[in-house]
Structure 1
Amino acid sequence: MAEVKLAQHKSMRDVFGEKLLALSRKDERVLALDGDLANSTKLDKIAENKPEKFLQMGIAEQNMLGVAAGLATVGFQPWVCSFAAFVVKRALDQIAVSIAQPKLNVKMVGAYSGLLNGCTGKSHQSLEDIAIMRSLANMIVLAPADAVELERMMEFAYEYDGPIYIRLARDPLPVIFDSASYRFELGKGIQVRNGNDVTLISTGTQTHRAIEAAEMLEKEGLSAGILHIPSIKPIDVEAIVAAAEKTNAIVTIEEHTIYGGLGGAVAEVLGEYAPVPLERIGVRDRNGESGSNDALLQKYGLTPGHIVDGVRRVLERKKKVKN
C-alpha cells in the first residue's frame, strides 16, 4: 500500500533533469539530446553542468531521433527529451523504423504531455502518445504518478537495454509514494487504496485525482479501490483481472484520449479475461485547446468530480448485470 501525501508537491521535470545529470556523471555512455527546449524540459541542467554530455539538435525532431538511433548502435545510451507532441508525433517514422524495430537502447521522454502544458494549446498538447507508442513492437511505455516514481523509473530505464518511452507532466504534482520504500517493477500495478464497490484504474497525472475522487466517494458510503498503472506496456493483466473479480466494476482514468490509451488497454484485458462494466474517464474524440489547468480539466471531464460521476454510471450498469 502506498503512503499518500497529497499536500506535498514536486515537479517531475526538475527531478528528471537532476536524475539525468547524475546518470551522465555516473556513466560516460549517457547522453542528453535536446530539441531546443532545454529550459522547459530541464535538460539545461546537463547543458550547464556537464556540457560534453549535452547535444543540441535544434527544432528537428526527426533528425534528433535518427541521431539517437545512430548513437545507440555505437554503444551510447541517448536520452531524447522534448514535448511529447514533438517527440512522438513528429518523429514517429524514425522511432518505429530506426529505434523500435531493431530494439535500440534509446530512452524517449515526452515532457509536457496531456492537456496541462501552460496554455500552449493543441499544437503542443499530446493526447495520443500512449496509444501510438504502445502500438509499437519492442516499446515499453511508462507514466509516473509523481516525482518519486519517475526517479525509480529512470533507474530502471538506465539498466534496461532497449527502447523506453516515459511520459512526464509539466507542473508540480502531489507526492503519492514514499521515497524510502517505493520500488518500480516493470509490468506491475500498485494498489494505492483498497475498496469493495468499484476499482479506479489510473495512470500518470490522474492517479492523485483518483485518490481525491475515492475520498469523495467514501463520504457517500462507497468503497473505491485504486490500482495505479505506471507500466502501461507491458500492463499488469493479473492485477486488473483480480480487481475486476473483486469489485465487478472498473473506471479507468487518464489525461489522454480514451482511444488506445490506458482505457483501451484495460478494456482489452477485461474483454479477454474478465468482462465487467467499464467506464473510461479521458478525452473523448476532441482536440485540446489553450486554457488554465482548472478550466481544461473541467471542460474535458477529468476532475475528481467527473470521476465520481463515472463511478455512479458504472455502478448503475453493475446493478443491471446483477439483475
Structure 2
Amino acid sequence: MKANLEVFSETLQALAEKDQQILAVTSDSRGSGKLVPFGEKFPDQIVEIGIAEQNLVGVAAGLAAMGKKAFAVSPACFLTARSLEQIKNDVAYSNNPVRLIGISAGVSYGALGSTHHSLHDFAVVRAINNLPVVAPADAFETEEVIKYAAATDEPIYIRFGKKNMPDLGQSLSPKFEIGKARLIKEGNDITLIGTGETVWPCLEAAILLKEKGISAKVISMHTIKPLDTTLLAELGATRKPIITVEEHSIFGGLGEAVSSYLFQNQYFVPFKIMGFPGEYTVTGSQTEIFEHYGISDKGIQQEALNLLKK
C-alpha cells in the first residue's frame, strides 16, 4: 500500500528525467506534496512560489504559455478557492495546459478542521469549461493520469488525498482512459460508484453484501468530468439501484453529475448520493469522519440494503 500522492511524485520524477520541460510549481508544498525528492533530483525544474496560491496558478499559466509542462501543486482547499479566478481565466479560458494538482483533498487530516477540508472542489471546478476533473483511486490510476497529463496540451485538475491506498487491480479494466470508468467488480443487483479514495470502501461493502447474498457491481468513476455516459446509460437501462460515494459535499459532485445524466435521459432508477451533508463537519481523522457520515464498508452496505428494500 502506498499513498497516491507518493505515486504521483515518483511518476513525475520518472517523466522529468526524460523531459526537461516538466516543471513542478509549488506553494510551500514540497513536503505535503511529496516533492522533496523531486526538488533534490531536479533543482532546476522546481519553482517555489510560497504561500501565494493565486500567484502559483498565474505563474504556472505563464510557464505553460511558453511551452513548459507545469504541474501546479497545492492543497486542494486553497487551490480551488483562493485561486479560482486564476483557474477560470488564466488556465481554462486561456487554454493554458496547466496540470492543477490538488493535494490533501477531501477531509483534512488531523485536527485542521473545516478550513482545510476540500469538499467543494468538484462542484466549482466542474462548472468551469475546458477543465477535466480526475480523482484517481489507486496507484495504477494515478500513474496513468500523470502520464496522460504530461502528454496532453490541455488543462486538467487532478485530486489527491494522503491515505495509503490498496491496489484495486487491473484485470477487469486493464486500460485507463479519461472519461472512461474502471470496472472493479462485477455484480447484478446494485451498483456502487466511487471516486478517489471512496472506491476502496465501496469494494469492501460489496464483499459484505455478498455475504448476504447480494451481488454488487463496483465502479471507479475516476473522471468526474467528462463522465462516462456510455457506462451510465448501460447501468440506467438495467433499472437496478445505484449508489454514488464521494469524499465531497453531496451538492455539486459525483452524485449530482451522475443523477443529472440519468434522469435527464429518462433512466429512472432507485438512487442514493453518499457524501457530506450541508452542515458543519465534525472534527477528527479521515477514518473517524468517514465513519461518522457512513462512508465506510458497513455504512455503504447499510445504505445498499435500505435502497434494495425500497
Give yes or no for the alignment of 1:255 onto 2:247: yes
Aligned AA (1:297): F
1:155-205, CA deviations, whole angstroms, 9 ceiling, x for partnerless residues? 1111111110111011211111249x8421011011111111111111110
What is residue 320 of structure 1 aligned with on the other side? none
From 212, 222, 225, the counterpart of 1:220: 212
Aligned AA (2:293): Y
| Equivalent runs, 1:301-320 vs 2, <5 Å | 301-317=294-310
Separation in 2, partners of 1:65, 1:206: 28
TM-score, normalization by structure 2: 0.95
From 183, 188, 193, the counterpart of 1:196: 188
Separation in 1, partners of 2:282, 2:36: 28
1:302-321, CA deviations, whole angstroms, 9 ceiling, x for partnerless residues? 1111111211222233xxxx
Aligned AA (1:115): V
- 1:30 is displaced (CA, Å) by 0.9
What is residue 6 of structure 1 aligned with on the other side? none
Q: Is the 8 A contact 1:80 1:108 kept in 2?
A: yes
Separation in 1, partners of 2:236, 2:111: 37
Separation in 1, partners of 2:188, 2:129: 36
Give yes or no for the alignment of 1:112 onto 2:104: yes
Separation in 2, partners of 1:264, 1:94: 25
What is residue 227 of structure 2 aligned with on the other side? 235
1:60-106, CA deviations, whole angstroms, 9 ceiling, x for partnerless residues? 00011011111111111110111110111110000001111122110
Separation in 1, partners of 2:143, 2:280: 31
Give yes or no for the alignment of 1:275 onto 2:268: yes
Aligned AA (1:277): P
Aligned AA (1:166): I
Give yes or no for the alignment of 1:76 onto 2:60: no
Separation in 2, partners of 1:244, 1:115: 30
Q: Is the 8 A contact 2:239 2:268 kept in 1?
A: no
Separation in 1, partners of 2:62, 2:148: 22
- 1:231 is displaced (CA, Å) by 1.1
- 1:247 is displaced (CA, Å) by 4.8
Aligned AA (2:114): K
What is residue 4 of structure 2 aligned with on the other side? 12
What is residue 103 of structure 1 aligned with on the other side? 95
Separation in 2, partners of 1:242, 1:208: 23
TM-score, normalization by structure 1: 0.92
What is residue 80 of structure 2 aligned with on the other side? 88
| Equivalent runs, 1:41-80 vs 2, <5 Å | 41-80=33-72
More moved, 184-193 vs 57-66:
184-193
- Structure 1 residues not aligned, in runs of 5+: 1-8, 318-323
Separation in 2, partners of 1:313, 1:106: 43
Give yes or no for the alignment of 1:171 onto 2:163: yes
Q: Tell me, what secondary structure is at the counterpart of 1:127?
A: coil
What is residue 142 of structure 1 aligned with on the other side? 134
Q: Is the 8 A contact 2:74 2:103 kept in 1?
A: yes
What is residue 291 of structure 1 aligned with on the other side? 284
Q: Tell me, what secondary structure is at the counterpart of 2:218?
A: strand
More moved, 25-34 vs 281-290:
281-290
Aligned AA (1:128): H
Q: Is the 8 A contact 2:26 2:48 kept in 1?
A: yes
Count of equivalent residues = 308
Give yes or no for the alignment of 1:159 onto 2:156: no
